[in-house]
């Protein structure tokens, strides 16, 4: 810790984190929106991306003359990372952990909604139609979870707790994983996806995962299978997905993330009856902003104390490695 008060830039859009009074006692804080970032960043030691969807950092990179640390109030850092940052000594930390349980619950909710045809019941309710149907059971249903980070692991544990059979897809194949049992290598996804009733995408977006689910992978799924995407829209070829859903190649999808957000009005996904669309909210359960704020405050205390930071992102991999 330097004797001088560190300079922190907080990039925000609407509200500020709860913890700021505490932080202001220990730092000079500059609150800015994206357009003002270029003038605020010179001389700054640390940057909090509270407006976590912003990709403004790359634009002002030339002005970041003393930056040492960027903390992101999100799990995914794909919008932030660029070559200049990767090659620099600037440490990037994220908000790993905060979204694990809410997203796991959201995935289970999506699976149950499709298994029990809740959208079909709501459609009939709107039309005043009483129609009995059979539903699906989820006990012993197979789910493939693509992404073995902390959110994928929490999801695996929750789906196992309700009696589903789980396998994972990760960078490298392995067996006897504590949460997944078997983990398949992402390169092999096409050959394993046909065994599963539900395919859950929760991987970070990296060069290795971009477009992982393409037309061939979709074609290899069971016609009765459903896709859940709570990771990033670009994990899937969105056009191929819309085709697969409209042609019955797969049975349904619950999509919380999209290549372009908000999802454009022209997207055919809006109008497919077997698609459940939500507005990138799966991790944002009551208390999330308070938790994000508390995690930043914890990390800021570590920063000023010169201690080890939590959730340091491997900038080459594009996520926090391990467990």
Which residues contact a copy of itself by CB under 8 A? 101-102, 105-106, 108-109, 112-113, 115-116, 118-119, 121-122, 124-125, 128, 130-139, 158, 161-162, 261-263, 265, 270, 275-282, 284-288
Comparison of 42 and 109: residue with beta carbon closer to a copy of itself: 109
User: Two tokens at 310?
Assistant: 């939590």
Rounded CA separation 143/227 (Å): 10
Separation between Cα atoms, residue 194 and residue 199, nearest integer Å: 10
From the list 30, 232, 237, 238, the catalytic residue is 232
Q: Which is nearer to a copy of itself, 35 or 286 (CB)?
A: 286
Least distance (Å) from a copy of itself to the CB of residue 76?
A: 16
If the CB atoms of residues 248 and 287 are measured against a copy of itself, the closer one turns out to be: 287
Report the side by side order of strands in the sheet with 46-49.
28-32, 7-11, 46-49, 69-72, 91-93
| 78: three-class secondary structure by DSSP | coil
Active site residue 261: yes
CA–CA separation, 92 vs 247, rounded Å? 43
Nearest distance in Å: CB 231, a copy of itself = 17
What is the nearest approach in angstroms of a copy of itself to the Cβ of residue 322? 24
Nearer to a copy of itself, 63 or 116 (CB): 116
Cα 297 from Cα 154, distance rounded (Å): 24
The distance of closest approach from Cβ of residue 106 to a copy of itself in the complex, given in angstroms and rounded to an integer, is 6
Q: Which of 24, 261, 290, 316 is catalytic?
A: 261
For residue 144, give the 3-state DSSP assignment: strand
Does 232 qualify as catalytic in the annotation? Answer: yes
- Catalytic position from the list 68, 124, 171, 280: 280
Which among 249, 247, 287, 259 has a CA at the least distance from the CA of 98?
287
> How many angstroms separate the CA atoms of 71 and 48, rounded?
5
Enzyme catalytic residues: 232, 261, 280
């Amino acid at each position: 810790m330097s004797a001088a008060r560190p300079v922190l830039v907080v990039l925000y859009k609407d509200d500020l984190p709860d913890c700021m009074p505490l932080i202001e006692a220990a730092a000079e804080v500059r609150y800015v929106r994206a357009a003002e970032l270029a003038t605020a960043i010179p001389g700054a030691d640390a940057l909090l991306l509270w407006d976590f969807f912003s990709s403004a950092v790359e634009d002002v990179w030339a002005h970041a003359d003393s930056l040492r640390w960027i903390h992101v109030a999100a799990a995914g850092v794909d919008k932030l990372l660029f070559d200049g940052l990767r090659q620099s000594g600037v440490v990037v930390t994220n908000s790993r952990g905060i979204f694990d349980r809410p997203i796991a619950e959201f995935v289970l909710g999506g699976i149950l909604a499709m298994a029990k045809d809740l959208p079909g019941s709501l459609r009939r309710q709107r039309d005043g139609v009483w129609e009995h149907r059979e539903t699906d059971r989820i006990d012993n249903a197979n789910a493939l979870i693509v992404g073995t980070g902390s959110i994928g692991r929490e999801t695996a544990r929750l789906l196992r707790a309700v009696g589903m059979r789980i396998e994972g897809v990760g960078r490298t194949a392995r067996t006897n994983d504590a949460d997944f049992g078997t983990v398949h290598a992402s390169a092999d996804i096409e050959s394993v996806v046909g065994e599963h009733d539900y395919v859950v995408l929760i991987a970070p977006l990296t060069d290795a995962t971009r477009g992982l689910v393409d037309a061939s992978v979709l074609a290899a799924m069971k016609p009765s299978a459903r896709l859940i995407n709570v990771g990033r829209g670009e994990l899937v070829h969105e056009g191929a997905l819309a085709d697969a859903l409209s042609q019955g190649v797969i049975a349904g999808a619950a999509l919380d993330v999209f290549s372009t957000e908000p999802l454009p009005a022209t997207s055919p996904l809006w109008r497919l009856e077997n698609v459940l669309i939500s507005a990138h909210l799966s991790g944002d359960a009551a208390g999330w902003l308070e938790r994000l704020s508390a995690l930043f405050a914890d990390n800021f205390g570590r920063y000023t104390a010169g201690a080890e930071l939590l959730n340091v992102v491997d900038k080459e991999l594009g996520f926090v490695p391990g467990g």
